[in-house]
Chains A and B, each alone.
Chain A
Amino acid sequence: MNDLTPPPPALGCRSAPILKQRGQREVFCGLTGIIWLHRKIQDAFFLVVGSRTCAHLLQSAAGVMIFAEPRFGTAILEESDLAGLNDAHKELDREVARLLARRPDIRQLFLVGSCPSEVIKLDLSRAAERLTQQFAPKVRVLEYSGSGIETTFTQGEDACLASMVPVLPQTDARELLVVGALPDVVEDQMLSLLADMGIGPVRVLPARNIDAEMGIGPNTVFALTQPFLGDTHAALERRGARYIQAPFPLGEEGTTAWLSAVAAEFGVDAETFERVTAAPRRRARQAVAQAAETLQGKTVFFFPDSQLEIPLARFLARECGMTPLEVGSPYIHDALHGPDLDLLPSGPQISEGQDVDLQLDRCRAARPDLTVCGLGLANPLEAEGLSTKWAIELVFTPVHFYEQAGDLASLFARPLRRKGILEAKT
């Protein structure tokens, strides 16, 4: 780290008391992850075994923006499926056979469990095993749960990636595995930074298709690019891989810290690190500084959404001069979120879980300059005079690593700038 980076705060948030509440949660379920995963993994199809509600959720969350036939669908359970589980398995086999006949391009099929399939105890692992045998070697069938009774929003990606870990081949090679779905352009930037430092071979999970070479074993080290991959983290450790703990690569500081942890693991010398990162760091700082003019000195309140809240609060506090008042996260995982909590200056209320009505009361009382919340709350809060940033945009927009640091800051600055423009004219 060079001298432009402020030192870590004397007192971070890692040991701050966490407010835990339960009640109504205004968050998506894990099925929502399918919206980006089906674009990322280009030979995969996601078949939700669920209800009309599941299909409607996917459609509403995706905003029906995808014109072509998407690579996901819902096998909607009907009255007759609820009566007999054997019949439900037969029905599922029939639908899968029909689907794979129509889509010969599909090489990986994910059966995705939902609230209703969990409640009726429809065993999708049995179904996945049976279907894998039937369609091997052409198609691999895996299963995971994206149900709301087990997962929130981004935990769906976690469950999906965790389901792929046990089927990765064994290897003793010393390799770096980078875990977390990133937009292709960001992934390419990251790979080129690592390559320039001489780090390799680098594997990425999820890969863009099933043919990507990837193994795992005791010599694998892995880094996470997303803070919501707790189960995948555990599954990888079970396979003997070792986790490189670091803050998440959001903002200039986060990216540098993340890269430097990986570089240290691979013995990259300081000179090389400086040579590779100097230019993008400078660009990132410059870009963040522009947006930070709007954000400087403003307060921010996070409703729980994607588990990105803690790293984002760290970025806004340390690089954009904002003051977080409350940082809510659906779940807090010390091994993953610890390094970011260390850097987040003490002060904000850290909260886990949600009782949305009580949290709204706190938010109204705090009157933050910016509220980061889900789509269900944004317009109602705007109507009450609060500026909001939809949290979902942070998941659907390229925000990781150096070249996106400025875009990330702008996402938060835009609602404030807009409010300024509209107020100036009226």
Chain B
Amino acid sequence: MKLTVWTYEGPPHVGAMRVATGMKGLHYVLHAPQGDTYADLLFTMIERRNHRPPVTYTTFQARDLGSDTAGLFKASCQDAYDRFQPEAIIVGASCTAELIQDDPGGLAETMGLPIPVIALELPSYQRKENFGADETFLQIVRHLAKPMEKTKRVSCNIIGPTALGFRHRDDVQEITNLLYELGIEVNVTAPMGSTPSEIAKMGQAHFNVLLYPETAEQAARYCERTFDQPYTKTVPIGVGATNDFIAEVRALSGSTAEISTDRLRQTWWNQSVDSTYLTGKRVFIFGDGTHVKAAARVARDEMGFEVAGIGCYNREFARDIRAVAKEYGIEALITDDYLEVERTIEALQPEMILGTQMERHIGKRLGIPCAVISAPVHVQDFPARYSPQMGFEGANVLFDTWVHPLVMGLEEHLLHMFRDDFEFHDDAGASHHGGHSPKPMQVPDKTPKPVLEDVSVAAKPVDDGNIVWLSSAEKELKKIPFFVRGKARRNTETYAAEKGLGEISLDTLYEAKAHYAR
């Protein structure tokens, strides 16, 4: 048993729903109790889809448990076929149905439906959403795709995009265009946008472009073994990764076509002098393994940030993220415990967070700017405008998105210079954010540190680790702009502790500032 407040991933059947909802002509019959239909709103509200997910829930109740839940499943399955006339059906159980062991796969196979019926085994008490999507897509490919003669012209499949994916819609468009410029035709894009009959033709492609290892790596490996299709290993997020990706695709396809980088502005935007203030900003990066890995590279090599910490919530990518952390000389945080992520951010006091919607909430609470780089995301992360993360346009988008939450260059200086200006003070926040200032930092689990009146006693070492802020120092601390105040407090306390001081005076504050100057 594990206590959870917020979760990064849903249960595995939600992953299967992401695959089914992305596709057309496929229906998912899910053995599940009343209430599990909540998952529909993820797609209709958060992603704003204009159709219901193609899912039929059996909706069994307590009174059915003693009687015939298997019969209920078969009736639902038949109804779904009759009503929706899909090209193929996937069947499975949600967490509760897994416990009653009706074997939806076995039941559906005995029904003699004239279409492929694909049984899913998604262990709800061990695995999570991404696994559910990855496994579902693998099973669909295994059942439907057949070895075929390769297309005459060089072609590839784009695999990995699903419903409810972070910017999948726009990434697919960006990468499809890039491949077109390289002279490569896209055979099938799947699961998102494909039908079962298109999946059947996946074997025609010469290679696969794996956009999201989280949701399609198993299928990529299967195709490599079965159809002799190699797949791309670089996820093209950021300028460097996009160039590596192009090189990889050239090696796989033999393409020598020129690629225009006219649309790429991110490189110059970073070189321009206004961006100097980005130098060395300490960022904490958290999300799914793929996006975190890519964001770390962009943050350090393209934006000039200092990566203060990284981590991911999907254990499947723990090894990758640990390797990246090692390269950056930091510790990796592998956890799906929201509170642990919050504690880590609080301890690191980064100047910016690149995270998920959860970290956006942590950032709000701690007064640290945050940009979202990874699922899970909310309705505001499904923008109306074209907004990919991948390719050259994606690199432009990353620059804009990451810079937006920050206080900009000259404004930062002015805030330092005129701290007490009545309308231009730090509590007003960045001026392009409509006067919104983050909530003051609160540490609920700790009692507030006592503030003593300034008295001229010699600072004496204490051994209980409880450091007292003198009121003049506390007042001075408040004059420091909010976006560096947390760091200043932490540095000063660390400095005082190292020096064995029990109190922090104005002098201590400035000695600490000098000590940590960089």
Contact = CB atoms under 8 A, between A and B. Distances in A.
Give the interface residue-count category, chain A.
35 or more
B357 A64 contact: yes
Contacts of A95: 1-3
B233 interface: no
Interface string B51-78: 1100011111110010000000000100
Contacts of B2: 75-76, 78, 95
Instruction: Give the residue among B7, B38, B62, B65 with the most A Cβ atoms within 10 A.
Output: B38
A56 B41 contact: no
Contact of A78 (B1, B9, B50): B1
Contacts of B46: 60
Q: Which of B3, B35, B41, B126 has the most CB of A within 10 A?
A: B35
A115 B37 contact: no
A92 B2 CA distance: 9
B1 A77 contact: yes
Contact of B51 (A55, A60, A61, A383): A383
Given A149-B65, A150-B61, A26 B37 contact: yes
Interface stretch (B95-103, B187-195, B426-434): B95-103
B49 A67 contact: no
A68 B357 contact: no
Given A27-B35, A27-B37, A51 B365 contact: no
B36 interface: yes
A74 interface: yes
Interface residues of B, number: 60
A318 to B, nearest CB: 32
A149 B33 contact: yes
A382 B45 CA distance: 12
Contact of B35 (A52, A57, A357): A57
B48 interface: yes
Contacts, number: 188
B5 interface: yes
Given A120-B99, A150-B61, A379 B48 contact: yes
A29 B9 CA distance: 20
Contact of B37 (A73, A91, A376): A376
B100 A119 contact: yes
B481 to A, nearest CB: 22
B124 interface: yes
Contact of A24 (B42, B59, B65): B59
Contact of B125 (A73, A82, A376): A82
27 contacts: A24-B37, A24-B57, A28-B37, A29-B34, A52-B7, A52-B95, A53-B13, A53-B96, A56-B7, A56-B10, A61-B38, A81-B1, A92-B1, A95-B3, A115-B35, A118-B62, A120-B99, A147-B62, A149-B61, A150-B61, A375-B44, A375-B45, A376-B40, A376-B52, A379-B49, A380-B52, A383-B51
Given A27-B37, A383-B51, 10 more contacts: A23-B76, A24-B37, A57-B36, A57-B38, A64-B361, A75-B1, A76-B3, A77-B125, A79-B125, A95-B2
Interface of B: 1-7, 9-11, 13-14, 33-42, 44-46, 48-52, 56-62, 65, 76, 79, 83, 94-96, 99-100, 123-126, 128, 339, 357-358, 361, 364-365, 378, 444-445
Interface of A: 22-32, 47, 49, 51-53, 55-57, 59-61, 63-64, 67-70, 73-79, 81-82, 88, 91-92, 94-95, 98-99, 102, 115-116, 118-120, 147-150, 152, 357, 374-380, 382-383
